């Protein structure tokens, strides 16, 4: 599996989660993604996952501007993650991953956008810093959706 496909899979599994915080160190971008409905399957007190994008080469946001005449792409990490981005879906676009996001802050001049990411490796950790494989994350997702509505 190509890395872009793996990254898209992780973001699709974490859909409806929100990128709440981020850290950038050298070429590693770490995203704190709140996704309580999946995190609490691991531990009922958990609320989020940490996703490390290693060897990051592209991080940019093509916002859905309130002023439709604007077409500026945001490229600084501080501005890309200025608002909390809610993950809707992800797909591979060339060698990049396009993550479709909503953004609800009234102080920003856009309602969401297309987050474009490119990296060499991805690692996912639970709230206690336990490593999760893609198949393990997928199992958690299947467990949730398999029991959805059966309570």
Decide: 40 and 100 in contact? Cβ < 8 Å.
no
Residue 94's pLDDT is what?
87
What is the layout of strands, in order, in the sheet containing 48-54? 58-65, 110-118, 96-103, 85-93, 18-25, 28-34, 48-54, 121-125, 131-132
Q: What integer pLDDT is reported at residue 150 of this predicted model?
A: 62
Band of pLDDT at residue 122, cut at 50, 70 and 90: very high
Residue 17 has a pLDDT of 97
Number of other residues whose CB lies within 10 A of the CB of residue 61: 26
Q: Are 49 and 72 in contact (CB under 8 A)?
A: no
Tally the domains of the chain. 1
pLDDT (mean) for 54-66: 97
| Predicted pLDDT at 139 | 94
Q: By the 8 A CB rule, do 41 and 47 touch?
A: no
Q: Which domain holds residue 10?
A: 3-147
How much is the pLDDT for 76?
A: 95
The answer to whether 99 and 115 are in contact (CB under 8 A) is yes
Whether residue 146 is predicted with pLDDT greater than 90 in this model: the reply is: no
By C-alpha distance, which of 37, 141, 15 is closest to 86? Answer: 15
Q: Is the pLDDT of residue 151 over 80?
A: no
Give mean pLDDT, residues 33-58. 97
Report how far residue 113's alpha carbon sits from residue 102's, in angstroms, rounded to the nearest whole number.
7
Contact 97, 118 (CB under 8 A): yes
Confidence of residue 149 (pLDDT cuts 50, 70, 90): low
pTM score, two decimals? 0.94
């Amino acid at each position: 599996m190509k890395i872009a496909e793996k990254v898209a899979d992780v973001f699709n599994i974490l859909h409806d989660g929100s990128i709440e915080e981020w850290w950038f160190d050298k070429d590693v971008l770490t995203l704190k993604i709140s996704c309580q409905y999946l995190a609490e399957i691991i531990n009922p007190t958990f609320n989020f996952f940490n996703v490390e994008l290693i060897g990051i080469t592209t991080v940019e946001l093509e916002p859905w501007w309130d002023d439709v005449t604007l077409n500026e792409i945001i490229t600084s990490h501080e501005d890309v993650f200025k608002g909390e981005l809610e993950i809707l879906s992800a797909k591979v676009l060339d060698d990049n991953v396009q993550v479709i996001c909503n953004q609800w802050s009234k102080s920003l001049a856009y309602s969401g956008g297309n987050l474009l990411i490119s990296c060499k490796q991805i690692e996912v950790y639970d709230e206690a810093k336990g490593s999760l494989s893609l198949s393990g994350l997928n199992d958690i997702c299947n467990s949730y959706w398999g029991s959805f509505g059966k309570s």
